Amino acid sequence: MSLGTLLVVEDDEAIRRGLVDAVKFAGYRVLEADNGRDGLDLAVAADVDLVLLDILLPELDGMEVLREIRAARPTLPVIMLTAKGEERDRVQGLRAGADDYVIKPFSATELLARVEAVLRRSAERPTNLGEVTIAGRCVNFERREVVFESGERVTLPQREAEVLAYLVANPGRAISRDELLMRVWGVDPRGVNTRTVDMAVARLREQLRDDPASPSVIVTVRAKGYMLAQSPDKPPDEPPAQSPAETNRGARA
Map out the domains of the chain as residue ranges.
Answer: 5-123, 131-228
Residue 126's pLDDT is 53
pLDDT, mean of each 10-residue run, the chain (253 residues): 83 92 92 95 90 92 89 84 70 77 86 86 61 91 90 90 88 85 73 79 94 91 88 52 41 42
Nearest to 184 by CA among 49, 48, 170: 170
A 10 A CB-CB count for 188 gives 11
* Distance (Å, whole) CA 204 – CA 224: 18
**Would you state the CATH architecture of domain 131-228?**
Orthogonal Bundle (1.10)
Q: What are the two backbone dihedrals, phi and then psi, of residue 221, each rounded to the nearest 5 degrees?
A: -100, 115
Write down the pTM of the prediction: 0.54
CATH tag for 5-123 (out of 3.30.300.130, 3.40.50.2300, 3.50.30.50, 3.30.230.70): 3.40.50.2300
Residue 249's pLDDT is 43
Sign of CA dihedral 74, 76, 80, 86: positive
Nearest to 111 by CA among 212, 24, 175: 24
